[in-house]
Structure 1
Amino acid sequence: MNAERNESVIGDGTQRESGPVPTTLPLNHRFVEPERAVKSITDMAIWEKSEAYMEYTGFIATLNEAIKGKPLSVDCKISENVNKVMNMLEKIDNAIEEFPPVEQPQRFGNTAFRDWLAKVKSNTTTLLQEMLDIKFHLAIPEIKVYLEESFGNATRIDYGTGHEMSFVMFLCCLYKIGALLADDNVATVFMIFNKYIKIARRLQKTYRMEPAGSHGVWSLDDYQFIPFIWGSSQLVDQPKIYPPVKFLEDDIIDKFADEYMFLSCIKYIKEVKTGPFAEHSNQLWSISAVGSWLKINQGLIKMYKKEVLAKFPVIQHVLFGSLLPIRRFPISH
């Protein structure tokens, strides 16, 4: 399998931190089913120099730039392919209604989640065939795994930043094969990713999911990270929520949660947690003292690389294929 991966060169190998450029895969490109590759702490150094790492961090940076200073209601291009992804997510969302929580003795981790996820996994190939143009169907066995890993773990009935990462990798793969294009960048965050976050929250509440590998009050949030990155980018140069400490005010949250992902995250935390915000969300409380949203955004990207992408317990579950390969990132001369 590794030999197959090494045969496939994506684009011309000149991709840099700016994120996925529109690439045309070679006609003989061989898709592979993704598998784990970071199996020990020492493998983390391979991950941090890999094409997958550069593609993934570049993708986050590209979309971060695309949405800077924009509210969710901004008029953006909505392509047919974006609408198709949204339709697929709507079907996944609606399936939750078929599996209501069951009566059980333990408070957390409702076992009905396993039935819901099994239903989703049994349908992902069909859903992706409906969503994607036939010319992309060869990619389905590779990209579907990222989608299936996006909603939580069936054994532990938990959800965390690794599952969120899997969905962003799924989006990155859609760009790599050409199903989404640069014109879709804003809609990818404001429509597709925002819909995904709503599904994730619904799953967390419906099935009382445990946080995966939570660090308690010392982590940014029990479940998510990326909506804080992209959400803070939205708030750069936005006078309505300035200085940033205003994001703690209830009237500001109520007024702007539907326009800015960062405030939507704060609203959700306040709904599911009790007690003083400074105690249950210490990191966010500290961030509120930073003087500008640009500094917060830059700081959160650094924090994400350190607290999520550099953590073996998260990265050991990451899957690598031909689109996001573990091979070393080519160095330009």
Structure 2
Amino acid sequence: MNTQQCTKCHATLKASSKFCHICGTAISSTRTTDTSSQQQQSQQQQTKAQPLQFMRVREQSQGAYSIQVPQGWHYSTTLQQYPDGNAVSIWQTQDPSGTVHISSPGTIYSFQEPIGAFFGQMLPGRRLLKFMSAKDFIQSGLLSQLRFTYPSMQVEQVSEHPERIADMVQAYASAGQNPAQAQFSIASVQFTFTRDGKRYRQEMYITILRQLAMHTWDACVTGQLCTLADQFAQYQPVLTTIGKSFQWNQQWMQIRNANNQMLAAQMMQQAQMRMQQAQMQALQVQRQSIMDIGNMAQASQARQMEAQERQFHAMDNIIAGNIDLRDSNGQVYNVTNDFQPQHWRDGLGQVHGGNWNARPNINWTPLSPTGD
């Protein structure tokens, strides 16, 4: 099928097209690909030599940020917001042929340092992991995930980029945050993989933001380029240009910062309430423990006094020659000890003793020694 190229954005079009469906440029009907191979090579050389023109586009859902993308390229921009107030930009762009992909996918990994449980609580959406630099994070965890996605992956290099930290600090400050209360790190991984018989090269940038006071840190995929391996060097500067062109909408940032301050105040209030509740519970436990100890001491003292009273009573019985007898209802009778093995109480309340051969009245109530 005969085709032609747009003279402005170089998109591939049908030979019958009058206008470019990408940039809208009017197309001359005489420029078709059924020309000689020499003309095609000349056109490709001119296309490669012609620098890309960029245009600024805004985030499409809230106008939260803007970036520059090559004119004539497909693009999309959006925003991911999290319950803790954090916001991550998500954007992507690709050339008309669909072979060059540049994006910031918004992939974020959120962690909390083991020593930093905020008021003893894990923050929502975070996992427990000690802090590490961007390069260590790539080597320790990210590469294993990438190998699962790209089985044929061959890692070419993992590099730190301290020269880009200044840009991170500036972006953090422009978002209304204090860079002195944070720690920054950035690194990249470059690798190749094979798909559908074609060799691709991909580069990913990972940024680390550590919030010192909260003992939390986030690792984010902030930019990546994927294209055919032999075209990688040609489009690598485009990723840098787009990344440096990123700008937050200051009006949107002011609204977000105000909301975040309210959220932080709510979280602080909830944390203080949890602390107060914990303190009240601890105080109640302490009070109950004191009461339990006091009750135990009183019970012990009562038992000691009771034992002493039994001893005194037993001594009094020995001196007076008495004995304590108890009926089936628990009533105790202190009577003269006649040294008889059996005793009964008659209907008038009198106690009678007798030996083992005695035959008392059937209406008498038997008594037994209390042992005291």
**Is the pair's TM-score, using the shorter chain for normalization, greater than 0.5?**
no
Q: Which has the higher contact order (CA 8 A, sep 6+)?
A: 1
Give the helix-richer structure, 1 or 2: 1
More strand by share: 2
Give the TM-score of the pair, scaled to structure 1.
0.22
